[in-house]
Structures are given as structure tokens and as C-alpha cells.
Amino acid sequence: MAGDDVTVSNGATDASGIERDRRLILDARAKGPLATLGAYTRLSGPGWLQGAITLGGASLAGSLYLGVLGGFSLLWLQPLAMIMGIIMLSAIGYVTLSTKERPFQAINNHVNPVLGWGWLIATLMANLVWSLPTIGLATAAVRQNLLPGVVGADALPDNLGKSIACVSITLICVTVVWFYDTGRKGVKIFETILKLMVGVIVVCFFGVVVKMSLAEGGLDWKRIFGGLVPDLKLLFSPANTFAPYIAEVDARFQDFWRNHIVSQQRDVMVTAAAAAVGINMTVLLPYSMRKRGWDKNFRGLAIFDLSTGLFIPYILTTGCVVIAAATQFHTQPARGFLGERDQAGVVIQPAKNLMGPYGEVAGARILYEVGDKAFAGMTEEEKSRQIESLMENLPSADKRMAAMLVKRDAFNLAQSLTPLTGSIIAHYIFGIGVVGMAMSSAIILMLINGFVVCEMLGIPSRGWPYRIGCLMPCVGALGPFVWTGGKAQFWLMIPTSMFAMVVLPIAYFTFYLLMNQRSLLGENMPRGGRRVLWNALMAVAAGLAAFGSIWSLWSKMRWVGIGGITTFVALALVVHFVRSGKPSPVAAEKR
């Protein structure tokens, strides 16, 4: 059995520090709300770690494409997803702080080992999948926004520039993670660094929106606040703002554009929801609390910590990105694809990174016109001639739609903001925000992986096994070299986040069941109206997560995906019935 994860110093448990924190909270409560608020502010930490990982590349990508596709009409989605996530994280925190059992052991002993192992394995997989685009995003931001003259494409050969930026970023992340394994003081340094990074991220993106609101024309705040009202029709139809442009398209091809927009909208909505609270955050919270030595006296602090360190920074940052993207890109064709000219009469050239994505969208429209069966029957030469001919003669209305829906990224957004905010804010402040999001997320992915590996091995999360586990997400350093070419690499956050949504219900339903285990919680189990409220809120959150998971599986894998989740559930049920006839490990120990 793994040992306790309470922070260690010089090989001994720092019990005096934990008792000092507990006494600080109890004394503050006796003095009143203001004193309690001050104590909570001083002791906060794990909630800010949650903020550091959720404000990562996936949240940035989700926010960007929500703005591109939905304009202001999808501003409601991320706050709703975060509220559902905080409900589950609060339940996880309650269970963790109410019992001395480690979460993995508690799940295996009191619920089902299939769910326990599924929870850890899914988290490990999600970490490794997410690490690839995350470090790649930070590398791209350094090369394109912050240091283009040092490691950019024009300064160094492509692979050399990538290598220098990527290795430097990875080493910085590893160094910061190392602090977490150097005792109580190291944990404090680590959490302070992450708090500062989250603060910088919020200030950068908030500053961009403030500057936009002060520019000529400003922002339409009435429409912005209107976008906070949920609109579920967007799961099945494009945003209303696309209607006049679709109406200009030949009637034969209007359904193609509607279906194309809705398909992307759904993927982005799932991504934004998955990035708000991912399955790896359900591991980070309980084990970071245990690392701090928190118990039931710290429950109020845990809720305060999640509110200030997670909810507020997330809502401010993602909301600002959606607003900026909606203002600059929604129903706005990417420049250079419609024969536009600048003030000197020179034809504007499209951004290089958008050429490939534009060809994909326009090519899909052409394939729709030709038909899959007819296209498959052509020779390669005939296909090439047909595509070239149709591409040249593509109606202007279709070209406009393709240019609107081309997959842009954060760097295109920074470029578009230059006339409004100036080059310093658009490139450097925005770039610092992007790098901060990617690096803070990469750091926490490493931290979580260390927890997961040690828990799988049944050992305390410290020492070299923990550090080796932390190093596994460094595989993300391969991201900039694996995903190359004309692809919109920023879009790669979308499919990786959809995978995370598929596995999220494992954690949600597992802790829903754990919250109702009297054998675990004993006298700490909620009763009466509180229990009804907890269960109702958790049921809504878990139900929405299950809906997103099944939707993602069906849209991408059809019956294969449904078969996979059915097999997992069936295995859990078989193990449950096999164990039901035997005494539980807890009961056996009591004997």
C-alpha cells in the first residue's frame, strides 16, 4: 500500500506546518469572515494548480473556435461547463478531505477496481495525448510571436529553431516541476510560480479586450452579454449570423455548408467542455490536497480555492479569447482568398498557414458536388483536372464561405489585432499569454503523471519513481516535429480534447458512487436535504459528461466506439457481481 503523501521535509512529515495551517483557519473562523478570507487567501494552492492546467492550449483553442464559429452566441458554454466541473471537483474534494483513504484505494475498495484502474489509465492516456499539441503550441508562440528574430523560420533552419525553442521550454517545465518534490517549501515555491503564471495569463488576455473596447468602434457589449444565455439550437444548426451568407450559395450546396458548420460547432463545443475540467484534473485535486496535508478542517478553504484559483481566472481568460476571436473572425473571410487589394492596389496574399486549410474546405465542397462514387471511379489524372477546373470556377459565394471557415489559429488572431491594439500588445502581450497557457498546462500534466504512476505502483508520490512519471509527458516535445506541413496545428487541440471528453464520465460517475458510500464516509456522509442536493447536482454534471462522451464516440467511431464503452461497462458490472458475493477488503481488514 502506498504511503501517505503529506509533504515531507528532510525525510520527515512536516506535521508542525500542517497543524499551524489548521490552527490559522480555526482561529480565523473565530474572528469572523474577513479574517477567514485572509487565511484562505494565504493558504490557497491546489485550486490554482487546477487553474494552471485548465488555462492551457485546449481551452485557448476551444475559445478561439467558439468565437470563429459561433460569434458571441456561444459565450455561455464554457461557464456552464466549468460550473458542472466545479460541482464534481467539490464532491471529489469533500470525499478526499473527509477520509484518510487515498482516492484510488477508496474506489477499488468501496466501489469497483475496474473504475479505479480505468480512472488512472484514462488519465495517463489523456496526459500523453494532450502533451503533444501543448508543447507544440508554446514552441510556435515563441518562434512566431516572441522571438521570431532569434529562433523563427527566417532566423534559423526550421528544425533547428524548433529544437532550440522546444528543448528550452521543456527544460523550464521540468525544473519547475522538480520544486514540487523538494519538501513543503518547494511545494510553496511551485504553487507561487503557477499562481504568477495564471495571473499573467489573465492580465494579458484581459488587457487585449480592454484595448479593443477602447479602440474606435469599441465592442458591442449588449451582444456580448446576450451570448451568456444558453442556446442549445447551436447543436443542430449554424449560428444565425451565417444565414445571409449561406443564402447566397447555390441552393444545391447550402446543405453542405450548414452540415459543415454544425459538424465543426459540435466538435468545438465538446472540446471547450472537455477542456474546462478534464479527467486529469480529477486526479490532480485530491492528490495535491493530500500533498498539502489537508483534512476535513480545510473543506471551506477547498471551495474558496476552487472559486478563486480556477473559476474566476478561467471565465475571464476564455471569455476574452472568445470575444476577441468573434470580433475579428466570425463571418469574416480570411484575407487573400477573394482577390482583395491593399490601399496601393496590390493583390493581398493569404497567410501561408491558411493555404492548406482553405484547400481542405474548398476541396470538401468540390467533392460534395462531384460525388464520392463518381470521384472514386476517376483516374488520378482525371481527379487532378476535375479539382483544378472546379476550384478555378468555384462560385464567389462558396469561396467566401470557405474563407470564413478556414481553420485559423492564435497567431492569425494576434496578427488581426495589430490595427486595433498595436503590435506590442497584439504580438508580445498576446504571445506571452499563449506561452503562459501552454507552459502552465505542460507543467501540471507532468505533475499529474507523477501522481498517477506512483499510485499505480502503490508507492508514495516522491523520489525518483515520481520524477520519472513526471518526465513521461516530455514526449510532447515531439509534437512540433510530428505535426508539420500546412495543417492548422492549433486545430489539433480539438481531436485530442474530444478524446478527453470520451473518458471524462469514468471519473464523474466513479466519484458520484464514492460520494454515496457509507462504508467510506461514515459520519461524514451528507444526509437529508444536503445529500439530495449533492446527488441532484452530481447527476446533472455526470449526465452531461456522458452525453458529450457518447456524442463524441458516435460522431467519430460509430458502433466501434459504442462497443468500446459497452465493453468497459460490462466488465465493471461483471466484477461488481463477482465481488458482491465476497467480503469487501475493508470488511476483511476489520475482521
Any residues with CB less than 8 A from the CB of 14 and at least 6 apart, and which?
Answer: 6, 7, 8, 183, 184, 293
Predicted confidence (pLDDT) per residue in 309-342, tens digit: 888 889 998 999 899 889 989 999 998 898 888 8
Q: Cβ distance 24 to 39 under 8 Å? A: yes
pLDDT at 215 over 60: yes
Amino acid at 415: Q
What are 9's strand-pairing partners?
12
| CATH class, range 42-334+410-551 | mainly alpha
How far is residue 240's CA from residue 249's CA, in Å, rounded to a whole number?
16
Long-range contacts of the stretch 374-377 (C-beta < 8 A, 24+) = none
What pLDDT score was predicted for residue 12?
39
Q: Cβ distance 586 to 517 under 8 Å? A: no
Predicted confidence (pLDDT) per residue in 298-316, tens digit: 888 888 888 888 888 899 9
User: C-alpha cell of 118?
Assistant: 480505468
Of residues 321, 272, 269, 353, the one with CA closest to residue 433: 321
Q: What is the pTM of this model?
A: 0.83
Predicted confidence (pLDDT) per residue in 13-63, tens digit: 456 777 888 888 889 888 888 888 888 888 887 788 888 888 887 888 888
User: C-alpha cell of 323?
Assistant: 470575444
Q: Which helix (H) or strand (E) holds 301?
A: helix 299-306
pLDDT at 586 over 70: no
How far is residue 528's CA from residue 534's CA, in Å, rounded to a whole number?
10
pLDDT above 90 covers what percent of the chain? 32
1 — pLDDT class (breaks 50, 70, 90): very low
The neighbour count for residue 258, using CB atoms within 10 Å, is 17
What pLDDT score was predicted for residue 492?
67
User: C-alpha cell of 425?
Assistant: 500588445
User: Could you give the residue ranges of the DSSP H alpha helices within 458-526?
Assistant: 463-471, 479-482, 493-514, 518-521
User: Which SS3 state, helix, strand or coil, does residue 8 take?
Assistant: strand
Amino acid at 590: K
Cα–Cα–Cα angle for 221, 65, 554, rounded to 5 degrees? 130
- 273 CB burial (10 A radius; 0-12, 13-18, 19+): buried
Predicted confidence (pLDDT) per residue in 475-495, tens digit: 888 877 776 654 555 666 677
- For cell 473596447, the residue is 213
How far is residue 180's CA from residue 187's CA, in Å, rounded to a whole number?
5
341: phi then psi, degrees, rounded to nearest 5: -125, 150
Long-range contacts of the stretch 384-391 (C-beta < 8 A, 24+) = 387/363, 390/366, 391/362, 391/363, 391/366
CA 458 to chain CA mean position, Å: 28
What are 488's strand-pairing partners?
none
Q: Which helix (H) or strand (E) holds 125?
A: helix 113-141
Q: Cβ distance 294 to 102 under 8 Å? A: no
- 379 CB burial (10 A radius; 0-12, 13-18, 19+): exposed
Any residues with CB less than 8 A from the CB of 92 and at least 6 apart, and which?
Answer: 103, 282, 285, 286, 511
